[in-house]
Structure 1
């Protein structure tokens, strides 16, 4: 079946075009979709679908068939199947972008082939659900493309820096103590130095302990000082999206289709009740 939809993103054409070519940016905006691998123009992922009590998990892959930058048109082909073998889905999607003032309008043409339980919705309901899914996608993409901080705010962001503190130099005992010229005793030998008093010994010990404490504090501060962060190239997996609930998207439409049937059933029950009373 062939489906046609459109969406609007409040961002300029070039920004939306670059985002559209990056699966890692657009995949999280698709309800129920989780991107698992990207290799050039090919990618792999899964889509969780919920239909009331029934849950389906489609695993598949896709690729960019063409990227026409001057025309701002991209063609993507994707296919997948349910992990339990309850159905398959394949689609060729053509997305064309055009500027609309400061916003961008996207036109989507989907050639869809689907089997299994989701195919029971029919073309009309699938088209309506697809339109609502694209609206949700456009809202999410707009939030991702919106600037998070202004340049002024970025400049005011405090930066961590390493401050090296000068370690206190312990004064050497020989340098701090004044050198006294000892008188020479008879025979040319220097006279014995007088014994230090207990008060001077205690003061020297206190000064030595203070110097040692200062050294330890300086070393501890330098060890715990923040270091400049080194950039690391590591893949950060995106969190898995919640399953897309088709009944939630199709709720009003399903009620419209079921309402006439419910009215007929209620009328029949009323007639049967009246006959029993007679």
Structure 2
């Protein structure tokens, strides 16, 4: 399966790229994710996924297959398994940063495979949930990069421009102030809550058909 997502950051690609390479700081920008150990091209990471009252934890290896600083392109391979359970996931993620007017654009392309409980979601549902998670990732990443630039520039730097990425609903994992997201405090988003809207929107035609059918049967049997 394939998942693609693009978002813009209001900073030049030359400022965004060094932060994007800092895996330990960037990983917690994804809700529920963090890096446990590693350096160079190999890391051990973990991801928490919340489905209503059920929370699944994945742990796996991340390997940098390609890193092209001149072209601002990364390719990372990840393989993870459920800490408790037989499910797993495998993904090959390509990230490309490009200069655009007013900043840079980040393009993420992921080829992935799922098995176990996570695979019970349909492809369309996974794409919609992935889009919601990437919105939150982009929001946190933008804040991380702007904070990093502000700290390097010192207290005399002008105020950072307003974020260009649409703001999703606040989550319990978002910290106050300008602090980075702590790995241990990076709570998973509730995917049931994220999925409820898409599920309902796709179910409305079916619900309408069932109501119409029931009404027709009632009229035919009560003549």
**What TM-score, normalized by structure 1, do the two folds share?**
0.63
Q: How does 1:121-270 map to 2 (within 5 A)?
A: 121-147=121-147, 148=150, 151-152=154-155, 238-270=183-215
State whether structure 2 residue 91 is matched by structure 1 residue 99. Answer: no
Name the stretch that deviates more: 142-151 or 265-274: 265-274
Secondary structure in structure 2 of the residue aligned to 1:244:
coil
* Residues 145-170 of structure 1: CA deviation (Å, up to 9, x unaligned): 1144663459xxxxxxxxxxxxxxxx
Question: C-alpha root-mean-square deviation of aligned residues, in Å?
Answer: 2.3
Name the stretch that deviates more: 117-126 or 80-89: 117-126
Aligned to 1:24: 24
C-alpha separation in 1, matches of 2:186 and 2:96: 26
* Residues 28-53 of structure 1: CA deviation (Å, up to 9, x unaligned): 10011122113222111211112234
C-alpha separation in 2, matches of 1:152 and 1:256: 48
**What TM-score, normalized by structure 2, do the two folds share?**
0.78
Give the drift of 1:78.
0.6
Q: 1:17 to 1:152 in 2, by over 3 A?
A: closer
Give the drift of 1:275.
6.7
Please, which runs of 5 or more residues in structure 1 have no aligned partner? 155-236
Secondary structure in structure 1 of the residue aligned to 2:141:
helix
* Residues 52-93 of structure 1: CA deviation (Å, up to 9, x unaligned): 343211111211111111111010011111122241101000
* Residues 232-274 of structure 1: CA deviation (Å, up to 9, x unaligned): xxxxx73331123223333322112111222233334445655
Aligned to 2:10: 10
Secondary structure in structure 1 of the residue aligned to 2:142:
helix
Aligned to 1:68: 68
* Residues 194-249 of structure 1: CA deviation (Å, up to 9, x unaligned): xxxxxxxxxxxxxxxxxxxxxxxxxxxxxxxxxxxxxxxxxxx7333112322333
Aligned to 1:39: 39
Contact map agreement 1:34 1:240 (CA 8 A) in 2: no
Contact map agreement 2:12 2:102 (CA 8 A) in 1: yes
Number of aligned residues: 196
Q: Between Structure 1 and Structure 2, whose CA radius of gyration is higher?
A: 1
C-alpha separation in 1, matches of 2:15 and 2:61: 25
